[in-house]
């Protein structure tokens, strides 16, 4: 009904806004890492900590799903590598050719996008739970929804990092830096807007499917209980 349509519309708009925000955050973060030694060290240490926390949680939580362990290990390795790349891509410390920097910015863009996206989703889940607008449901709670957010973050981060490195934004200075950053954002913003909006709709569809499956199981259980089975 109207309520469901409002949810899909909200997911479409919210996903688009989040995707557009990610494009801006990734580009600005990559600029700061490239030009500021302070931010290069800050994000480098931050990625080291995040990678360590992921490995620690995998080890202490006793992940039993054989398919999840390699995925989590690969991601934690990527985060550690991104910490190293923060120092390598600092223009004040190293001078690299454009052909080398493009794939490095691609990997760094993935980590920045992932960290921001999942932090934003945690914040939105907390806000939704606090307001109680989804009747106990979180925005992202099923494994398929988590994989959707992960895949979207990887794709957007890779695209934004690739565009940033390809346009050689980090080598510009002064007014030229601002112009190149705006040019890169003019390309990244529509991509983030469209991909984020589509991901928002798909996430809502997955949530509805999981909710209907859960309600069906609860209904079957109540029927069995009434029959004394």
Residue 195 and residue 19 in contact, taking contact as beta carbons nearer than 8 Å: yes
pLDDT number for residue 220: 46
pLDDT number for residue 215: 44
Read off the tokens for 181: 């950053």
pLDDT number for residue 36: 85
In the Cβ-directed half-sphere of 37, how many Cα atoms lie within 13 Å? 3
- Average pLDDT across the chain, whole number: 80
pLDDT number for residue 226: 53
Q: How confident is the model over 145-169, as pLDDT tens digits?
A: 878 888 998 999 999 999 998 988 8
pLDDT number for residue 137: 61
pLDDT number for residue 216: 46
pLDDT number for residue 193: 94
Q: Place 183 in a pLDDT band, splitting at 50, 70 and 90.
A: very high
Q: How confident is the model over 19-70, as pLDDT tens digits?
A: 999 999 999 999 988 888 888 898 899 888 888 887 777 677 555 455 566 7
Residue 102 and residue 34 in contact, taking contact as beta carbons nearer than 8 Å: no
User: Mutual orientation of helices 98-131 and 37-61 as an angle, nearest 10°?
Assistant: 60
Residue 114 and residue 150 in contact, taking contact as beta carbons nearer than 8 Å: yes
Q: How confident is the model over 193-227, as pLDDT tens digits?
A: 999 999 989 988 888 877 666 544 444 454 445 55
Distance CA 113, CA 29 (A): 10
Residue 20 and residue 193 in contact, taking contact as beta carbons nearer than 8 Å: yes
Q: How confident is the model over 95-120, as pLDDT tens digits?
A: 777 778 888 899 899 988 888 887 77
**Average pLDDT of span 83-92:** 84
Read off the tokens for 42: 């800050």
Q: How many residues does the chain have?
A: 229
pLDDT number for residue 213: 64
């Amino acid at each position: 009904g109207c309520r469901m349509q409002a949810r899909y519309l909200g997911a479409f708009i919210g996903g688009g806004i989040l995707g557009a925000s990610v494009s801006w955050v990734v580009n600005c973060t990559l600029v700061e890492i490239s030009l500021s030694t302070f931010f290069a060290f800050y994000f480098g240490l931050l990625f080291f900590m995040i990678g360590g926390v992921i490995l620690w949680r995998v080890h202490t939580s006793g992940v039993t799903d054989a398919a999840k362990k390699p995925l989590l290990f690969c991601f934690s390795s990527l985060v550690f590598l991104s910490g190293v790349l923060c120092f390598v891509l600092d223009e004040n410390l190293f001078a690299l050719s454009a052909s080398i920097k493009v794939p490095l910015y691609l990997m760094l863009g993935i980590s920045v996008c992932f960290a921001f996206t999942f932090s934003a989703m945690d914040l939105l889940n907390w806000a939704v739970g606090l307001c109680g607008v989804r009747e106990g449901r979180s925005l992202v709670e099923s494994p398929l929804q988590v994989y959707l957010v992960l895949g979207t973050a990887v794709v957007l981060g890779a695209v934004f990092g690739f565009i940033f490195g390809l346009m050689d934004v980090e080598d510009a200075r002064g007014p030229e830096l601002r112009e190149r950053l705006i040019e890169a954002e003019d390309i990244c913003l529509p991509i983030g807007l469209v991909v984020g909006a589509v991901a928002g709709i798909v996430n809502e569809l997955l949530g509805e499917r999981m909710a209907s499956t859960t309600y069906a199981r609860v209904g079957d259980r109540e029927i069995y209980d009434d029959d004394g089975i």
